[in-house]
Structure 1
């Protein structure tokens, strides 16, 4: 089978969907009957790009301000997609919201329906484009892959589609996410004045649905000595309309017990995750929650909300809190500091839970979906 995979998102710094494309493509390479052709927006290749396009982070915000920018880029991408395409392609896989036009079987991955629940997380022009194209893209797809049963059920109800149009392919974690000894972590943590297991960590784009304000306020309730010994680190890109919670963030930063790290290289994130006392992930909505899985695979306990798809990932290994329950999150963080036996139980439960997920398994399900779509 010759599969066309749209890898244009890898031009940007890799967040959730970018990691999905990179890891899935690498795992699909082990499927012997598959041959991948990767579309990069500007042309076709057999190889994944090693890094994002230089200057993308500075260029993208300016492009969004140009009227009609999404439509113009879409038109150019379609022309390049058609021009360089292998005529023997059997199926086209679009791993994001809406597919390009393709005269053959199409599979799409629908990671979530964030634009419905939290439209404020999208620039207005992009939101209009999603609303205009997503329905047609769903109709074009013979099969729709989702990361979780939650999203499959949600999308089935919203689009009014039969259950057999959906295939759930849970995500995996990269090899860099694994338990690490304190001596291994010390060289990267010491320059920042950090000790292994001596800080809490939040990972994710700074946007309101991530509910970081709850993490910030709960951390602020810890006694001053504990806040100093266990600072809260936030690693992630600036999101759309992040100013909605900037007052809380600025107050926390001014205290000196919260550090905003910005976007970091993959290996640095993996080391931070492996060295944290716990990952604090109070998100209100996730189609999967990849940082939760990555933390568990690293032997780091996770604190999260029992919302959307996240219980499918963490199972009984999660420390669950309710959105808005500052006392509950404060008490959970305090227990993970003071109760070492509980911390060890959470660590072991997370490692066992993470063992149920892999990119290899995701790729096998995806390859079966390809065969089903071509045959159907």
Structure 2
């Protein structure tokens, strides 16, 4: 059997949570003996010569205006028809793949269709219809790793709905809510199978869109933390955290994630400043949105607390690390005293799992999916209660017994989300009959998000 996954998140320069999911999903399919293609959406001229086609696919920065005239005409014709043809990118032996192995090593094959995600979204906004992609005949199943307004023609389509953040926290997101609501409804009405990644998200989808919960499959997910980092001796991790950020092993608190309203970074800072802990707070962040005031505050506190700490010979410090590599983030997690992740809303909460896999205790929220994923293997707090979060920071900083118990409990809990367990859940998906589709009501179900 041959399955295709969209490669939008795999093709990003920096790994995201969806990218981790896509790679884990590919590994789970492959563990079940399934061949996995990645469908890329790059703009590239088409050639009959496979070698030229492969080289063109890998060229960076091509825009529609760079294409030959016949290709530009095809681009506009495809747009009017709402149908795009995908072609297979064969390896000729000319292009070196080792420098870009992270993007392609999880795949058995590469397909490309000139449909950047923005193109599909604009088509849907203008016409109200999904863009259709024709895949090679040997592909039997298309699995979209996130909600997108695209459908593969003539084969089974599975969509993963990770969360419902655009509807539950609209003030913390960007985008067109009307278009997203219509897209989600269309997916729920037409998909051959709907997959999600937690019981919380499964309940939210059923609640907000008033659909049968039993028609949604929860597979959870996995995170393939690099085995070399998990197994590395402590002195190696100790040297890394000292050299990279001047930190001491197991002597700092760590936040990992984008800086955006949902991640609750402002309250985390408030709690840290209010707490009695003197461990540094390291904020390892990627780019986010709606975050100008938070970043300004982080930068100010980073400078001012560092100066105070130097004058007093110690004390609180906030250290910001921007856009670290995935392997370095894993090392920082492994070396931390604890990961602090007080998010307001998640479909899963990947940093919670990544920390547990590496034996690092976690402080996280008792709302949304985080309590479900962490269970009793973390300190759970009300993400709105600054005092409660401050006390949790103090406890994990000073109580070695609690620290050891949570480290052991986290490792045990992480086995629930191992690559093997994920592959077994995906085997169920492969063997499931198509879901019974139902009309999604135009008016969403009422009710507040659980725990908020």
Report the TM-score when normalising by structure 2.
Answer: 0.72
Mean Cα deviation higher: 253-262 or 140-149? 253-262
Counterpart position of 1:302: 362
Among 227, 230, 240, the residue aligned to 2:289: 240
Structure 1 residues 134 and 175: alpha-carbon distance in aligned structure 2, compared to 1, 3 A threshold: same
Counterpart position of 2:71: none
1:159 aligns with 2:209: yes
Q: Secondary structure at the match of 2:270?
A: helix
Counterpart position of 1:26: 27
CA positional deviation for 1:244: 5.0
Whether the 8 Å contact between 2:192 and 2:435 is mirrored in structure 1 is: no
Counterpart position of 1:268: 328
Correspondence 1:114-263 to 2 at 5 A: 114-125=165-176, 127-176=177-226, 178=230, 180-191=232-243, 192-223=245-276, 226-227=277-278, 230-246=279-295, 248-254=297-303, 255-256=305-306, 257-263=317-323
Q: Deviations over 1:95-148 (max 9, x none)?
A: 1012512232211111100101222343335x4542332211222212211110
CA positional deviation for 1:208: 0.7
1:340 aligns with 2:431: no
CA positional deviation for 1:247: 5.1
Whether the 8 Å contact between 1:3 and 1:91 is mirrored in structure 2 is: yes
Whether the 8 Å contact between 2:272 and 2:281 is mirrored in structure 1 is: yes
RMSD: 2.9
Mean Cα deviation higher: 153-162 or 171-180? 171-180
Whether the 8 Å contact between 1:292 and 1:302 is mirrored in structure 2 is: yes
Structure 1 residues 232 and 73: alpha-carbon distance in aligned structure 2, compared to 1, 3 A threshold: farther
CA positional deviation for 1:35: 2.1
CA positional deviation for 1:160: 2.0
Q: Deviations over 1:157-197 (max 9, x none)?
A: 22222223111111122142636542020231112211110
Count of matched residue pairs: 355
User: Take 2:281 and 2:164, find their aligned partners in 1: how far apart are those partners?
Assistant: 29
User: Take 1:2 and 1:74, find their aligned partners in 2: how far apart are those partners?
Assistant: 31
Counterpart position of 2:410: 350
Structure 1 unaligned spans of 5+: 54-62
User: Take 1:347 and 1:263, find their aligned partners in 2: how far apart are those partners?
Assistant: 26
User: Take 1:370 and 1:139, find their aligned partners in 2: how far apart are those partners?
Assistant: 20
User: Take 1:290 and 1:283, find their aligned partners in 2: how far apart are those partners?
Assistant: 11
Structure 1 residues 244 and 144: alpha-carbon distance in aligned structure 2, compared to 1, 3 A threshold: farther
User: Take 1:351 and 1:245, find their aligned partners in 2: how far apart are those partners?
Assistant: 33
Q: Secondary structure at the match of 2:214?
A: helix
Structure 1 residues 131 and 50: alpha-carbon distance in aligned structure 2, compared to 1, 3 A threshold: farther
1:38 aligns with 2:91: no
Mean Cα deviation higher: 143-152 or 156-165? 156-165
Q: Secondary structure at the match of 1:29?
A: helix
Which is helix-richer, 1 or 2?
1
Structure whose CA Rg is larger: 2
User: Take 1:10 and 1:189, find their aligned partners in 2: how far apart are those partners?
Assistant: 28
Structure 2 unaligned spans of 5+: 43-86, 92-96, 105-115, 307-316, 437-452
Counterpart position of 2:340: 280
